[in-house]
Every structure is written in C-alpha cells, then in structure tokens.
Amino acid sequence: GAVVSQHPSRVICKSGTSVKIECRSLDFQATTMFWYRQFPKQSLMLMATSNEGSKATYEQGVEKDKFLINHASLTLSTLTVTSAHPEDSSFYICSAIPGGTAIGYTFGSGTRLTVV
Amino acid sequence: GQQLNQSPQSMFIQEGEDVSMNCTSSSIFNTWLWYKQDPGEGPVLLIALYKAGELTSNGRLTAQFGITRKDSFLNISASIPSDVGIYFCAAPEGGSEKLVFGKGTKLTVNP
C-alpha cells in the first residue's frame, strides 16, 4: 500500500534555531503534498500545500517565511521551521495523495517538535 | 470555508458495545473519508466513500455516505480495547484537493 514516511518522529531544539522535517512518499510519486499542524486535543489544521517544482501555497495566517516548504522531487517535501520559538512547539503531519482520490489521502506518522 | 460538524466529541463505552459517530455539513461533498489517529501518530485511513448512499464495511467498521451528500456516519461493532483513539471524518473541499476535517471523536473502551 501507499506509504508516507516522515522524519524525524520527534525533535527538541533551542529557541532561535531552525528545524527541518522531511516527508517522503515511499512507493508512489506525489506532485502535491500537504503539511498540517495539530495542537493537543484538536483537529488537524492545514498549513500549506506543497507543489513539486513550484512554490508552496500557504493557508491564511501561516507565515511563509517562518515555515519554509521545499518540494524538490516527486517523492520528497520538506518543512523547515525557521528561528523556532516555544510557541512553534506542536505536532506536524504531512500527507500525500497516491494515485488520485481512489485510495484516499495518506498521512505520515507525524513529528513532535518541542522548542525549549 | 466549509466545515464538518462531528459528534459526539467523546464516547466512553464498555468492550463489546457498538459505537456510532457522525459528521454533518451545510455543504455538499463528493467524497467522505474516515480516519483513526492513535496518540503520537498520524491519521490512518479507515474507510473512503465516493458515492451518495454508499455503504462500505471494513471488518467491524461500517460507514455510509449520506444520500444528501451532506453527512456520513461511522459504526464500530463489538468494540475492543484497541479501538481506542480519535476518529476523524474528512472531505475534500469542493474544487480542491484540500481536506476539511471534523473536530474528532475520542473513543475510550473500558475492558
């Protein structure tokens, strides 16, 4: 089945540093990937749509300069949280659509970011 | 934007009981998806529905796509402890690949 691999699963970083999260489609190509943020006991909030070979599309209220997205190949999208602050601590999840909607959106296992 | 109203917010049941949860919207959707999320993990797709009126099963899980295309329900029969988790309904926004999510139903199963 379609698998989306996300790495790292958890990361702790100091305030002011940058953190990169990787999202890979392992057995399919994904021209589009999605990045979500999830606060405790809440639903998933779409941050941006990552498009292979072009700029990401950010949702309203999401700072594009803070959350840098790069989708350089058909199997890899990265989210970089720049100059991280404690309020950026959250659970970040990526997803992709393998082979159209017939299979449904597949999610990565998430990254727990803690900024200290 | 489009919203999905999911209920109940939480459920506490005994092992062996059946469970039902649903999602409604004022908007029409062409696809309904049901996911389960375990703590510290990403959501896992349980059932996908593509046609109004469609009734689909996956083991002890059954989901239906409402005939009006504005609602869907998920039933779990004979619950077991590993059914514990948060269940989300989701649907692609009209004319877009972006998913709209319900707020989730947290299920607790007492052995």
**Could you tell me the two tokens for A104?**
């449904």
| Residue A43 to residue B36: CA distance in whole angstroms | 12
State residue A54's pLDDT score.
87
How do residues B37-85 score in pLDDT, each as one tens digit?
999 999 999 999 999 999 999 999 999 999 999 999 999 999 999 999 9
Nearest CA of chain B to the CA of A108: how many Å? 6
CA A48 to chain centre: 8
> What pLDDT band is residue A99 in, cutting at 50, 70 and 90?
low
- Kind of pairing, strands A106-107 and A44-51? unpaired
> What pLDDT band is residue A53 in, cutting at 50, 70 and 90?
confident
Nearest residue to B11 (alpha-carbon basis) of B87, B65, B62, B89: B87
Nearest residue to B96 (alpha-carbon basis) of A28, A19, A105: A105
CA B52 to chain centre: 16
Judge whether A54 is closer than 8 Å to chain B, CB to CB. Answer: no
Do residue A49 and residue B40 have CB atoms under 8 angstroms apart?
no
State residue A47's pLDDT score.
96
Four-CA torsion A39, B50, A77, A48, nearest 10 degrees: -50
Which member of B42, B103, B104 has the closest CB to residue A107?
B42
